[in-house]
Structure 1
Amino acid sequence: MTTLVSTEPVLRASGIEKSYRRGVWPARRTVPVLRGADLALRAGEVVGLVGENGSGKSTLMKVLVGALRPDAGSVTVHGRLGHCPQEPVVYERLTCDEHFELFGRAYRMTVDAERAARRDLYRALGFERYTGTRADRLSGGTLAKLNLGLALLADPDVLLLDEPYAGFDWDTYLRFWDLVAHRRAAGRAVLVISHFVADEERFDRVVALRDGRTAPR
């Protein structure tokens, strides 16, 4: 991918530190996970964040989306943020359509805008025939499509994806990258967190998380 990107970050994380307490007193100990991690995303940029299991990738993601308070450091986001968690957060008894309607209201979208975005996402990800299917009756792959679609619904300026293509078949994997390319061309920022990066040429940069710190790979 080659295009010009803005020099001003739309997301900046600086000096992020996070530790967890393990065990019970008197053997309780503090385990540092993030030790001053830095990350910046610019408009029109696709960035990969890689690291081994247990390296702190998911902890950093939770800090970036505001689900976890860091012990030190700061996160600044300009614009709307979309988050696709590794484990889908859905309501088992709601259909795909009902999920989009619910999230559209949470995003304060108009009814027409939500319906138009929903139609485009069904088509782009190839699961139109599941519009009326409840979440608890979806296959793992289709549930992953719904999870991604909900993150994309409101056209976020910054899209954070945690292991987004786990469970995708090859066709859906290619559809995923088409969506990412369109977002990049529209000046949106995308962060893909994974334990490994395939098709590295699809990224503008790849950042590695090691020993609680980030570094270019």
Structure 2
Amino acid sequence: MGLGGNSSSDKGSGLVLAASGISKAYRQGVWPLRRRNQVLDGASLSIRSGEVIGLVGENGSGKSTLMQILVGALSADTGAVDLHGSLGYCPQRPVVFERLTCDEHFELFGVAYGMPRDERAAAQLRLYEELDFKRYAAERADRLSGGTLAKLNLALALLPDPSVLLLDEPYAGFDWDTYLRFWDLVAARRGSGRAFLVISHFIADEERFDRIIQLREGKAVQK
């Protein structure tokens, strides 16, 4: 898998992420009954600044595999991924430290992102307000409800204001109010050119998306 640099034509088109010909197979079982399970077979997609794209597919269709390849957590057998800008990732399962508070998570991730302290503090406060969980700022992660943990998980991915944000089932643990807050947050950021790729088993509010891509037989198909 290749990770390409910026080109002048891509900048002009507003392209922030492009994946081409992504294939990935796993070998299952034990010899002599081992078989090859082709999960992705030449899947391609592109994302431009300001776009909100949905990625859907049945269980086992390769959605999470493709997402992990896009963020560099998994190597593809063939294909290339070109990133133009900064990348944020919100995994389905929160990546947190049980004994750290929400505030401590923001501080830790801010350092990891290389953010100046004042910039991190301002972004932290804004995310607390947008997702309505500032009252849990001093609460340890292992004492948070599932919904609040999902808010923290999303907020940590949004903290450095990435050019494109990849979200794996981001609102699975949200109540209705938080679900609406999530879409308000997306609308505000896409207005400044940020792009979003949202993975979900199904998409109810199709009008919120610019495009919906379906993974079918290992390929990405415009729905």
Same fold (TM over 0.5): yes
> Does 1:95 pair with 2:101?
yes
TM-fit CA distance, 1:7: 2.9
Give ranges in structure 1 of 5+ residues lacking alignment: 1-5
In structure 2, distance between residues paired with 1:157 and 1:126: 23
Alignment equivalent of 1:28, drawn from 10, 34, 42: 34
Q: 1:29-178 residue pairs with structure 2 within 5 A?
A: 29-178=35-184
Q: CA RMSD in A?
A: 0.8
What does residue 3 of structure 1 align with?
A: none
Q: Report SS of the residue matched to 2:188.
A: helix
Letter of the structure 1 residue corresponding to residue 68 of structure 2? K
- After superposition, give the CA deviation of every residue in 1:103-128 in whole Å (9 maximum; x if it has no partner): 10011000000010000000000001
- After superposition, give the CA deviation of every residue in 1:29-74 in whole Å (9 maximum; x if it has no partner): 1110000000100001110011011100000000000000000000
Alignment equivalent of 1:195, drawn from 189, 201, 223: 201
Letter of the structure 2 residue corresponding to residue 54 of structure 1? G
In structure 2, distance between residues paired with 1:72 and 1:82: 23
Q: Report SS of the residue matched to 2:13.
A: coil
In structure 1, distance between residues paired with 2:128 and 2:14: 33
TM-fit CA distance, 1:167: 1.0
In structure 2, distance between residues paired with 1:164 and 1:149: 11
Alignment equivalent of 1:13, drawn from 10, 16, 19: 19
In structure 1, distance between residues paired with 2:191 and 2:31: 53
What does residue 212 of structure 1 align with?
A: 218
- After superposition, give the CA deviation of every residue in 1:105-161 in whole Å (9 maximum; x if it has no partner): 011000000010000000000001000111100000000000000000000001000
Q: TM-score scaled by structure 2?
A: 0.94
Letter of the structure 2 residue corresponding to residue 141 of structure 1? G
Letter of the structure 2 residue corresponding to residue 187 of structure 1? G
Q: TM-score scaled by structure 1?
A: 0.96
Give ranges in structure 2 of 5+ residues lacking alignment: 1-11
Give aligned-pair identity as a percent.
70
